[in-house]
Amino acid sequence: MLDAATSALAAFLDPAMLLFLMAGILAGLVVGIIPGLGGTGAVAILLPFVFVLEPEQALALIIGAVAVVHTSDTISSVLIGIPGSASATVLMLDGHEMAKQGQAARALAIAFLSSMAGGLLGAIGLTLSIPIARPLVLLFGSPELFMLTVLGISLTALLSSGNMLKGLLAGAFGLLLGQVGAAPAAAEYRYTFGSLYLTEGLDLVAVALGIFGIAEVVSLVARKTSVASGSGIGTGWGDGVRDFFTHWRHVLRGALVGIWAGVLPGLGATAGTWMAYGQARATARGKDRKKFGKGDPRGIVAPESANNSVEAGDLIPTLLFGIPGGAPAALLLGALLVFGIEPGPRIITEDLDIVYTIVWSFAIASVVGAGLCFLLSVPLAKLSYVRFPVLAAGLIVIMFTAGYQESQQISVLQVMLLLGAVGWLMKISHIPRAPFLIGFVLSIPLERYYYLTANLYTFGEWAVRPGVLVMAGVLVLPVALNLVKRLRARTDADVPEPSDDDQDLLEAEPPRSWPLALTAVFLVLFVAAFVVAQGYSTNARLVPSLVTACGALLASAVLVLGVRDLRRGERWQTDDEQKAWRVELRWVLLAFAWLAGFVVGVFIVGALIAAALYVPLFLWRVAQLRWPAIAIYTVAVLAVLLLLQEFAGIVLPLGYLTPRGLM
C-alpha cells in the first residue's frame, strides 16, 4: 500500500498531471459558482475529454473538479442568498445571515477552510476505507438504511427550534412532492395528472432554486436594498480563520457525517450537509442552540466540512463495490469502465495505484481550490453591497436557465415559479424550508428501503436488529427530551417565536391570518393527496398514504395551535405596520409579475431573446439604472449565456417562435 501511495504521489511531479488537475479544479470552481449545476454538471462537462487522455490524467481532471465544486458553490449562497447547488442551501441559514450583517468575509473564510478540511479528511477516510470499509458497509442491510433515512428526516424537529410541528409539517410536504412521478416499487406513475414532465418527478435543482432562490429574489427585490449593509466586505478574514480553529470539533464531526452520508447510496451531499448541521445544532447546549440561524460560525463549519467529505465518501462504494453513491460518482464509474478498470475487490489488488491517484487528486485539489476561492471571493464579496434589483436582472435569467438543465423541459419553469411562491409564503408564515428539502431528497430512498425491508423481513425480525434499535433511540430520545423541556419551560407568551432560519427575513410582518390560511391550504392538499393515492395499486399507495395521513395530522395540529395563539394573543397591527406590509406585498407581487413575464417570454421566443428584452426593461423600470449601464449589463448577460452554451454544454430553453438560426 505504501509503495502504491508513493508511486501515485510521484506521478504528480509530471507537469502534465498537474496541468490536468488544475484544469479540473478551475472547471469545478466555475461550475460551482453557477447556481444549479453542481458536481454532476462539472463531471458531465469534462467527461467527453477524458477518452483521449491516459487513465491517471483523466482521473486527475475529473476528481479535481468534483473536489472543489462544493467549495465554490458557497459563494453565491453566502453573498446573495442563491444556492450554488442544492447542498449549499444550508449556508443560507448562518452564512447568508453573516453577509447581511456585513461579515461576508468572515463567513467565506470559515466556509473555504472548512471545505478544505472536509476534503482532506475525506481523502484520509477514503484511504482508510480500503482495508476496513467492506465489512462495515456489509453490516448495513435495508432495515438499517430505512431507519437512517427516517432519522435524517426526523432532523426536521432539531432544525426547527421553536417550531417543531411546523418543521415536521414542512418535512411531510417535502416527502409528498418527492412522491411525484414513477413509484419505486410499482409500474405506476403518481400525482402526474396527465403531465409528461411530472412522470420523471420533480428536479432537485429546480425545487431548491424555487423554494429558496426565487423566494429570496422576490423578497430582496421588494426591499430594493443590498443584501448587506455598509460598504466593503469588512475585515472578517482573520475572524473566520479563528472561528475555524475554535470549532475544530465540528469540523471533525461534520466530515465524519459527510463521509458516512456518501458511503450510503441514495443520501448524497444535500442530506449529508443538513445532517451535519443538525448534529451541530443538537450538540449545542442551552442558549447556544438559539444562535443557529443568526450567523453562528458552527452553522457554517459543520455542513461545509460535510459538503466536500461526502464526495470522498461517495467514492468508497463506487470503487469497492461498483455502486455509485451519487450522480458524479456514477459518471466517474463510467469513465473507469471505459479504461477497463473494474471497480470492486480487483481494484484493490490490481489497480491500487489508481485508487491512490484519486486520493491524492482529491487532497491536492481541496487545498488548491480553497486557496483560489480566497482570491476570487474578495471581488465577488462586493456583490453583497450592490442594490439587489441590479443583481436580480441577471440572477433571474441564470436561475431559470440552471433549473432547466436537468429535465430540459420548459414546464420546469412554471414549477419553479409556483414553488417560489410557495417558498415565499412559507417564509412569511415562519414555516422553515430546510426540513422541506430534507424530506424531498430522502423521499424515494425512504420508500425504496422500506419496500426492501418489508419484502425481506417481518416486522419482528427487522425492528429488533441492533442497528435499527440504536437509530430508533437516536430518533426518539432527542424528541422526548425536547418535549419534556418545552413542558417544563412553558410560559404564558401569547405569540410563538418564528423559526430560526426565517425569522430575520421579514421586516414587515403579515397579518396573523396569513400563516393560518397557508396551514389550511396544506391540510386540504394532504387530504386531497390521500384521496388520490387510494386509486393507486397497493404497493404504489402505501407510502403516499402514510405521508399524507401524517401530513394532515400535523397540519391540523399546527392549525389548532395557531387558532389558539390567535385568540390568546393577537396584537392588531398598527397603521404604520399595516402600511409597511401593504407596501412590501405590492412590491413582492410586482416582482412575481416580472418573473412570470420572463417565463412567458421564454415560452414564446426562448431564453436568449427573452433575456435580451427582459434584462434592459427590468433594469430600467425596477433597478432604475441609466441606459449606458443597462446596455453594458445586457450585453454581458447575453455573452455569459452564449459562452455557457458554447463551452459548458448549457442548453438554453427554446420557445415556440424561436428563430431556427438560434436552435
331-349 core/surface letters (b: 16 or more CB in 10 A; e: else): bbbebbeebebebeeebbe
Q: Which 3 state secondary structure label does DSSP give 612?
A: helix
Q: In this predicted model, what pLDDT tens digit does every residue of 118-177 receive, in sequence order?
A: 888 888 887 777 666 556 555 677 888 788 777 767 755 555 555 778 888 988 999 999
Q: Which 3 state secondary structure label does DSSP give 439?
A: helix
Please give the span between the terminal C-alpha atoms of the chain, in angstroms, as a whole number: 53
Amino acid at 96: H
Phi and psi, residue 502, nearest 5°: -130, -5
Interhelix angle 466-488/142-158, rounded to 10 degrees, is 10
pLDDT(542) > 80: yes
Q: Which 3 state secondary structure label does DSSP give 189?
A: strand
553-576 core/surface letters (b: 16 or more CB in 10 A; e: else): bbbbebbeebeebeeeeeeebeee
DSSP H or E segment with residue 190: strand 189-190
DSSP H or E segment with residue 155: helix 142-158
C-alpha distances in Å from residue 417, one per residue of 89, 283, 397, 422? 18, 37, 13, 9
Measure the CA–CA gap between 636 and 632, rounded to whole angstroms. 6
Domain locations along the chain: 2-226+236-569, 575-662
Extract the C-alpha cell encoding 158: 432539531
Q: In this predicted model, what pLDDT tens digit does every residue of 201-252 receive, in sequence order?
A: 888 778 877 887 788 788 878 766 665 554 455 557 788 888 888 888 888 8
pLDDT(85) > 70: no
Measure the CA–CA gap between 409 and 405, rounded to whole angstroms. 8
Q: In this predicted model, what pLDDT tens digit does every residue of 556-609 receive, in sequence order?
A: 999 998 888 777 655 556 677 778 888 888 888 998 999 999 999 999 999 999
Closest listed residue to residue 586, CA positions, set 40, 125, 594: 594
Residue 177: its pLDDT value, please?
93
Asked if residues 645 and 651 have their Cβ atoms less than 8 Å apart, the reply is yes
Number of H helices, E strands in the chain: 28, 2
Per-residue confidence band for 507, with pLDDT thresholds at 50, 70 and 90: low
344: left (phi over 0), alpha (psi -120 to 50) or beta: left
Phi and psi, residue 181, nearest 5°: 110, -155
Measure the CA–CA gap between 392 and 395, rounded to whole angstroms. 5
Phi and psi, residue 36, nearest 5°: 100, -15
Measure the CA–CA gap between 261 and 312, rounded to whole angstroms. 10
pLDDT(383) > 70: no
Asked if residues 597 and 625 have their Cβ atoms less than 8 Å apart, the reply is no
186-202 core/surface letters (b: 16 or more CB in 10 A; e: else): beebbbbeeeebbebbb
Which residues contact residue 351 at a Cβ distance below 8 angstroms, ignoring those fewer than 6 apart? 341
Q: In this predicted model, what pLDDT tens digit does every residue of 87-125 receive, in sequence order?
A: 777 777 888 888 878 788 888 888 888 888 888 888 888
Extract the C-alpha cell encoding 107: 463567513
Asked if residues 501 and 433 have their Cβ atoms less than 8 Å apart, the reply is yes
Taking all residues of the chain, what is their mean pLDDT, rounded to a whole number? Answer: 78
Per-residue confidence band for 422, with pLDDT thresholds at 50, 70 and 90: very high
Amino acid at 524: V
pLDDT(419) > 90: yes
Residue 67: its pLDDT value, please?
77
Extract the C-alpha cell encoding 77: 449562497
Measure the CA–CA gap between 587 and 583, rounded to whole angstroms. 6
Per-residue confidence band for 500, with pLDDT thresholds at 50, 70 and 90: very low
Provide the β-strand partners of residue 226.
387
Amino acid at 133: A
Residue 90 CB coordination number (10 Å)? 32
